[in-house]
Structure 1
Amino acid sequence: MKVLNKGLKFAPTKKIDKFGVFVDLQKFKRSLCLKKYFLKDPVTRQVLGENDGWRHTELKKKSHFYPKHLISKEITTFETMVLDEMEKIQPMRSQNLTKEEKEALKELAEDTTITIKPADKGGGIVILNREDYDEESLRILNDRDVYQRIPYNPTEEIKKKFDKYIQKGENNEFLNEKETDYLTVKYPKIPVFYHLPKVHKNLNKPPGRPIVSGIDSISSKVAEYLDHLLQPIVRKIPSYLKDTGDIIRSLNTITWEENFLLVTCDVRSLYTNIPHNRGCEAIKTMLLEDGEIKKEQIDYIVEGIALIL
């Protein structure tokens, strides 16, 4: 296992991606047309949740609206000029890497006996033996208190539960039409498990920080919706700290005294150690005390959290 310096940089390729440039041009043309369109016909924005009494979000599917009738001669001329100039450019050979360095990178990319991951902390790059990485993966996944082996793919079964939950939200008007459309995942991806090596704890045989990447999974959109509702309320909690900068600003407001102690603490496996029922109860209590969201919608939010968990 090796850790590479976080300052290591690889030379960018000088070869032009003609297709990529063409795609970017089309996006730029659409952006210009949209600006022209909305200057002529401004969008009237409304305060969310004002009409039906329920708390809503701004979540909606990305629009594909393209007023092509607003493509002018100037835009077309600009596109032609860029494409013509691109054809004249000759790709340059990169001189940033030596021949030996290029061969080393190629060898690393083709080596199936290793895996390359970012370090859990510090920003370094870690090269691990594939056997060691797989061994740590199995150690994490074989913890039966956290993970459960299942004999089949439950995707369709879980999808039906989320579809039913979303339909319930629409029927009770907790969700508006745009939210319902956004939250419905028609073709969900199965979440991917991997882990990041904690080289700050053990350099020779680092334990892994397990991560389940749920991008575009069944629960990803509902989780995003609930996060939008909860974040404004979480910020009101006295113990809330946004980031390191927020901590420093808070400390600057304190008049330090001789008997003060600056203490930090860490919880091992924090999220897996929170009992689901107690966590849901805590969130419900917090939402009721805040009073910004009606009780019926609070019950719906807590139901969604339990479903995700």
Structure 2
Amino acid sequence: FVPTPHFNKFGWIKDLNLFARKLALHVFKEKKKEREAKNLGVSSEDYVHLENILALLDECPPDASNFFTQFRHKIKFTPSFSDFSNIEVFVNLVTSEIESIKHKDLCWESNLSRYEQRALKELQDVRNIVIKQSDKGGNLVIMDIKDYVTMCMVHLNDREGYRLLESDPTSLFSKKLETLLVQGEQLKIISTTNQTFLLPQYPTIPTLYCLPKVHKSLTLPPGHPIISGNNSLTERISELVDHYLRPLVLDTPSYVRDTQHVLHQLSQIQVPP
């Protein structure tokens, strides 16, 4: 169930240009490879193999090369659409079509009545409840804000798992992470570009939230604590660790991919009567 969206002319044109940028970057890279292949006197097909050979000679295999490009800031370069006539014509034509659309031409009837729209607005303004997904079952749970805070504090008050800090240790941890990354760059484990990417300049402090375990209690459910580390100091370095651990995890005897994998594994087991 989704309320009927409003026409956003700016959003449409923005998405169009982002899509065209991807096309232009792809063509730009292909043309760059064609020029390099021509300068070396080889075909475009052979140039791909030549890249792999050069990477091996540099003791940097193709997978390692992909690793170096994976952990770096996204490029902000945008080729000029005028360099690619077909892309420029496409963008101009579609932009012109979007600009010509009038709000009155879009006769989209709202799928919400005025009463439902007012109720939705009032619900957004409510501050004494918390709406969360349940820990299991995918149910929607509406809790009083006081009960939710109490549920979270049960975990934070556990002094075996948590302790109160006298100050924010982010700057201290940031210096330690920087030291490790500098060592990694000096040992040629990562590149200078990787080092810059893996050390966030303005990290946010991870936050704790809980998912109510309504399968255990409907009145005062215990909470499943989750630490959200989005944009935190260790988010990018954890991706680096995951890059190395992922192939190892796949080889462990206890690894299962999903439910279908479990069912397949069980089908191979003969259980005596």
TM-score (norm 1): 0.73
Counterpart of 2:37 in structure 1 is: none
Counterpart of 2:148 in structure 1 is: 133
In the alignment, the residues of structure 1 paired with residue 120 and residue 245 of structure 2 have an alpha-carbon distance, to the nearest angstrom, of 45
More helix by share: 2
The percent identity for this pair of structures is 33
In the alignment, the residues of structure 1 paired with residue 29 and residue 188 of structure 2 have an alpha-carbon distance, to the nearest angstrom, of 30
Counterpart of 1:109 in structure 2 is: 124
TM-score (norm 2): 0.82
Q: Secondary structure at the match of 2:127?
A: coil
* Larger relative contact order (CA 8 Å, sep ≥ 6): 1
Kept after mapping to 2: 8 A contact 1:190/1:214: yes
Please state if 1:21 is matched with 2:12.
Answer: yes
Please state if 1:30 is matched with 2:45.
Answer: no
Q: 1:232 Cα deviation (Å)?
A: 0.2
Q: Which range moves more in the overlay, 117-126 or 42-51?
A: 42-51
| Correspondence list, 1:68-147, <5 A | 68=80, 71-87=83-99, 88-90=101-103, 91-147=106-162
Task: For 1:36, give the aligned amino acid.
Answer: V
Kept after mapping to 1: 8 A contact 2:24/2:87: no
Q: Secondary structure at the match of 1:41?
A: helix
Counterpart of 2:59 in structure 1 is: 51
In the alignment, the residues of structure 1 paired with residue 214 and residue 110 of structure 2 have an alpha-carbon distance, to the nearest angstrom, of 33
Deviation sequence 1:56-77 (CA, Å, 0-9, x none): 5343221223222654344333
2:183 to 168, 188, 192: 168
Give the unaligned 5+ runs of structure 1: 1-8, 259-309
Kept after mapping to 2: 8 A contact 1:59/1:179: yes
Count of residues paired in the alignment? 248
| Correspondence list, 1:190-229, <5 A | 190-229=205-244
Distance 1:94 1:117, change over 3 A: farther
In the alignment, the residues of structure 2 paired with residue 205 and residue 48 of structure 1 have an alpha-carbon distance, to the nearest angstrom, of 61
Task: For 2:75, give the aligned amino acid.
Answer: S
Give the unaligned 5+ runs of structure 2: 34-46
Q: 1:113 Cα deviation (Å)?
A: 0.7
Q: 1:119 Cα deviation (Å)?
A: 1.6
CA-based RMSD of the aligned residues comes to 2.4
Deviation sequence 1:149-193 (CA, Å, 0-9, x none): 112111111110111111111112222334323212111111121
